[in-house]
Amino acid sequence: MSEQCRAIVADAPGGPNVLRIAELPIPVAGPGELLIHVAAIGVNFIETYQRDGTYKVPFPFTPGAEAAGTVEAVGVGVSGFAVGDRVATAEGHGCYAEYAIVPAAVALHVPSAVPLDIAAALPLQGMTAHYLLNSAYHVEPGQTVLLHAGAGGVGLLLTQMLKEREARVITTVSTDEKEELSRVAGADEVLRYDGFADAVREITDGDGVDVVYDGVGKATFDGSLASLRTRGTLVLFGGASGQVPPLDLQRLNAGGSLFVTRPKLGDYLLNPQERTWRATEVFQAAATGHLTARIGATFPLADAGAAHTALQSRATTGKVILLP
- Measured from the CB atom, the residue of 23 and 138 that comes closer to ligand NDP is 138
Judge residue 296's burial from the number of C-beta atoms within 10 Å of its C-beta, 0-12 exposed, 13-18 middle, 19 or more buried: buried
Contact status: 263 vs ligand NDP (CB under 6 A): yes
Residues 6+ apart with CB under 8 A from 277: none
Judge residue 221's burial from the number of C-beta atoms within 10 Å of its C-beta, 0-12 exposed, 13-18 middle, 19 or more buried: buried
Choose which of 50, 125, 224, 227 interacts with ligand NDP (CB under 6 A). Answer: 125
Q: How many whole angstroms separate alpha carbon 295 and alpha carbon 146?
A: 23
Q: Which residue is nearest to ligand NDP (CB)?
A: 152
Nearest Cα to 211, choosing from 148, 264, 151? 148
- What's the closest the beta carbon of residue 214 comes to ligand NDP, in angstroms? 9
Window 51-110: residues binding ligand NDP (CB under 6 A) = none
Question: Parallel, antiparallel, or unpaired for β 99-103 and 108-109?
Answer: unpaired
Contact status: 265 vs ligand NDP (CB under 6 A): yes
- Measured from the CB atom, the residue of 86 and 178 that comes closer to ligand NDP is 178
- What's the closest the beta carbon of residue 93 comes to ligand NDP, in angstroms? 16
- What's the closest the beta carbon of residue 198 comes to ligand NDP, in angstroms? 18
Find the part of the chain contacting ligand NDP (CB under 6 A) among 26-34, 109-117, 287-295, 308-316.
308-316
- What's the closest the beta carbon of residue 301 comes to ligand NDP, in angstroms? 18
Beta bridge partner(s), residue 170: 146, 189
Query: Is the CB of residue 143 less than 8 Å from the CB of residue 211?
Result: yes
Find the part of the chain contacting ligand NDP (CB under 6 A) among 22-30, 56-64, 144-152, 198-206.
144-152
Choose which of 5, 35, 151, 258 interacts with ligand NDP (CB under 6 A). Answer: 151
Choose which of 5, 18, 39, 44 interacts with ligand NDP (CB under 6 A). Answer: 44
Window 202-261: residues binding ligand NDP (CB under 6 A) = 215-216, 219, 237-241
Question: Parallel, antiparallel, or unpaired for β 4-9 and 86-89?
Answer: unpaired
- Measured from the CB atom, the residue of 74 and 159 that comes closer to ligand NDP is 159
Residues in touch with ligand NDP (CB under 6 A) = 44-46, 124-125, 128, 149, 151-155, 173-174, 178, 215-216, 219, 237-241, 263-265, 311-312, 314, 316
